[in-house]
Every structure is written in C-alpha cells, then in structure tokens.
Amino acid sequence: MGRAVPAVLRALDVLELFGTTEELSIPEIHGRLGLPRTTVHELVGTLVERSYLAPVPGQPHRFRLGVGVFHLGSAYAERLDLAREGQAAAEEVAAACDETVHVAVLEGRDVVYVAKVDSTHPVRMVSAVGRRLPAHCTAVGLMLLARLEQRTLDTLFPPGRRLPGLTARSLTTSRQLRERLGTVRADGLAQEYCESNEAVACVAAPVADHTGTTVAAMSISVPTVRWSPERAAELAGLAREGASALSVRLGHVPVTAADRGGPG
C-alpha cells in the first residue's frame, strides 16, 4: 500500500467529525482538529464544492453533511446484501420479541451497526444504524471477536493492553477479554449486562455467509427492567434463530448432524 496523502487524511478527519456531531462551524472544526484555520477554510470549501458538506440553511457559517455522502453511502448499501438482508431478518426477530434488534459488523476494534429495528416499548434502547462502539463492550462485538484467529486478536488487543470502558461493568483488560471470549466460543452465544449501557442487557449470535465465515452478529437489546434469566434464555433462542435465518439469506448452508456423519 502506498504512502497516505496528508491532505486526504485531513479532509477525512473533517468529515469524520460529522459522524458524531450534526453541525459544526469552521472555528469548531479548527478547535477539534488543531489544524490551521486557513487549512480548515480550504478543506471545508472543497468539501462543500463537491457536496460532501453543505451550509446549514439560514446559517451559512455552519455546516453539515451534504448529499455527496448520502450518495456514497447509498451506493455502498446497495452493494452490501448484508445490510438489506440484515434489516429484513431483524424485523422478523423484533416482531417476535418486541425488543430492539441489531445486526453489526466488526471494523478494527469497533463494531458498526448496519441494520436495526426498534422496540415499540416506551422504555427501549436508543441507537442508530452506522453507530460505532468498542467491540469488547458489546455482545455483538464479543461474538465477532470470539471468531477471530488468535494472532489477529493479539494484534487488535495486545496482551497487557488497557481497554477503554463505557460503564463500570465494561471489560478493561486484555486478560478479562480473553477469558470472556473463551466462554463465548464455548457457548456459541455472547451476552453482556450493562457493559455498553448502564441500563441495557444484550444477547448476540453469529451470522455466517455462503463460505461459512462469520461476517456479522445479531443482537437483541433489552432494558434491565425487562431482563431476567427466563427472558435471557428466551431471547438467546430468538437471537440464534434470527442469526441462522440471516445466514441462510446470505447463502450459508447449515451443517446438520447427518452431514457430519452423526445421528439425524
């Protein structure tokens, strides 16, 4: 891979600020990135010219994401069967349990949500497609990390590394993470209780593609006021069924006992 181009990196840094903030002014971008104000003016002007940023109506000195980003995102989504099929599968699971259902993929040390269906309950988890969270703090992330090769896991989370937490219950050491992943591998299922959100518990199952590779995970997120051992077991079954159904949509052919030469 060639050398990264500094000007492109700076432009991407500007765009990525809008992933967590709806609107920003040039002084705010300057303050967050520490770039020279003249450079920020030039970068923003170029991004506006190409429609990746747009002035806020009635506030010409403030900016938000432009239609160019939408076009790229839409083109990506159209080519990503997982997003489309994941949404359909998540809707089926949500209809069965009336809780929030997510489908997420692994990107580095984070998970990114590519599909989501909300619960209809007044008290429910609030999230969004495209949201990024530390993988080790989420059930979907633990499920996906558990399927990585050891050398890949060691690269992402070197032994002895301190991990950022989202709540007091989050895993914060590589040792804790490895112990948890051992349990996830044994169970074929991941659960977390208040590790990504202080009031939410989650259960997740793996999603495979036509090659049998785990490409995503499906989770069901429940406010702790509706969580119990019995409910957890029920949702674990639904998560497994939903993830399996999504895998089939992606072309995966499940291996049966007969295929393995065992009893039917």
Q: Would you list the DSSP string of 215-253?
A: EEEEEEEEEGGG--HHHHHHHHHHHHHHHHHHHHHTT--
The pLDDT score that the predictor gives to residue 79 is: 62
Q: How does pLDDT run along the chain (264 residues), one tens digit per residue?
A: 578 899 999 999 999 999 878 899 999 999 999 999 999 999 999 999 999 999 999 998 999 999 998 888 777 666 657 888 999 999 999 999 999 999 999 999 999 999 999 888 765 565 667 788 999 999 999 999 999 999 999 999 998 889 999 999 999 999 999 999 999 999 999 999 999 999 899 999 999 987 889 999 999 999 999 999 999 999 999 999 999 999 988 888 776 544 444 444
Any residues with CB less than 8 A from the CB of 80 and at least 6 apart, and which? Answer: 114
Rounded CA-CA distance 238/45 in Å is: 49
Q: What is the pLDDT of residue 262?
A: 47
For the record, the structure tokens of 101 come out as 């259902």
Closest-CA residue to 184 (of 141, 244, 215): 141
Task: Tell me how far apart the alpha carbons of residues 119 and 226 are, in angstroms, rounded to a whole number.
Answer: 12
Q: Classify 80-250 by CATH class.
A: alpha beta
Helix %, strand %, coil % of the chain (to 5):
45, 20, 35
Q: Which of 14, 28, 30, 113 is nearest to 65 (CA)?
A: 14
What does the pLDDT read at residue 31?
93
CA nearest neighbour of 102 among 243, 255, 249, 241: 243
Rounded distance, CA 106 to CA 216, Å? Answer: 7
In 118-182, at which residue ranges do the beta strands (DSSP E only) sit? 132-134
Please tell me whether the overall predicted TM-score, pTM, comes out greater than 0.85 for this model.
Answer: no
Q: Cα separations (Å) of 129 from 105, 116, 169, 198?
A: 11, 6, 24, 20
The CATH class for the domain spanning 6-77 reads mainly alpha
Q: What is the pLDDT of residue 118?
A: 86
Q: Where are the domains of the chain?
A: 6-77, 80-250
Phi, psi of 64 (to 5 degrees): -145, 175
E strand or H helix at 112, and its extent? strand 110-117
Contacts of 236 (CB under 8 A, 6+ apart): 189, 191, 203, 205
192: nearest Cα among 226, 221, 153, 212: 221
The span from the CA of 36 to the CA of 31, in Å, is 9
